[in-house]
Amino acid sequence: MTAAAALVAALFVGVAISAPASAEPLGSTDASRIEAVSMASATRAQVTTYSAAMKRRITVSVLLPRDRSTPRPTLYLLDGIDGGVYTNYTESGWTYQTDIEKFMADKQVNVVLPIGGTGSYYTDWRSNDPILKNNRWETFLTKELPPLIAKRFDTNGVNAIGGLSMGALGAMSIAVRNPEMYSGVAAFSGCLDQGTPDFRRATAATVQTRGGNPDNMWGPITDPLWTEHDPAEHIAALRGKPIYVAVGDGLPDLSLGLAGIASPVGGALERAALECTTAFKQKADQAGVKITYNFRQGLHSWGYWNQDLHRAWPTIAKALDVPVR
């Protein structure tokens, strides 16, 4: 049994979680828009948006540098499979689980963190789902949200995208499908190759653990939509861009203490991600795409992704054309 096949079985110990119910706003207009902005802290704006594509409100955190005197690039970072569940959709896992707000405060970059997207893979679903609802995340992230962020938060038009686990596949898939939008990509612990039935079944299984029907996403695993969204199949589109990919070996790093502990399936999940990443690297190498890899020790857990963010920063900074400092 491959690691990816084992992942399919391991994932079913999870609990199905419904997507949040977001009320449609009052008023007759159905245009995408920012409805409200409040400051959760000196460097974090909480932004309520309305997505016309998804016909619901989406909350987004925007991390801002302390020095906001000049226009700056934007990094979009996507969450894992739960997408805000553990904060009742008030925070991204990035702000809840890592030191990202402190780490980015002295860097001349906006960081956009969508809250929600549980089990969605941040993609446009083929059909509405009874549990996970209307998911049009690629449309939201590439067409609706960027002009709203640009107008409100003084951007300079340069963007990069990244994510972890579910968000890693989501970010890399969005990037290869919209290469003109992104100057670089960072992906941590994701199944970036969707070219085999095992890898596809593993991805489909994660959707099922959150109550969704994966056939509503890209169809059955034999559907051509899976190939259309497969980063490994289209990685040549990112040739020449700074890219950082990290994945663990499924073994805990005891030096991290409690931060290095994962759920009981954290080892199996990371070993499956390692198998996918190894296959992805082979295809990227064949396509002549140079990528900075970090095949490290570790589990499928936030303590390691916090480290990955710090280690990926020089690559991200290069993509965004800002000082590393």
Report d(CA 102, CA 43) in Å as an integer. Answer: 9
Whole-structure pTM value: 0.93
Supply the pLDDT for residue 109: 98
Q: What mean pLDDT comes out for the span 309-318?
A: 98
Cβ–Cβ under 8 Å, residues 185 and 243: yes
> CA-CA distances (angstroms) from residue 205 to 193, 202, 220, 225, 311?
15, 5, 12, 17, 30
pLDDT digits (tens, 9 = 90+) for 248-285: 999 999 999 999 999 889 999 999 999 999 999 999 99
Report d(CA 71, CA 109) in Å as an integer. Answer: 9
Nearby residues of 286 by Cβ (< 8 Å), 6 or more positions away: none
Give residue 6's pLDDT band: very low, low, confident or very high (50, 70, 90).
Answer: low
Nearby residues of 99 by Cβ (< 8 Å), 6 or more positions away: 306
Supply the pLDDT for residue 2: 61
Report d(CA 81, CA 34) in Å as an integer. Answer: 25
Six-digit token string for 11: 């994932």
Cβ–Cβ under 8 Å, residues 79 and 164: yes
Of 22-31, 89-98, 286-295, the one with minimum mean pLDDT is 22-31
Six-digit token string for 144: 């609706």
Domains in the chain: ranges and CATH: 3-320 (3.40.50.1820)
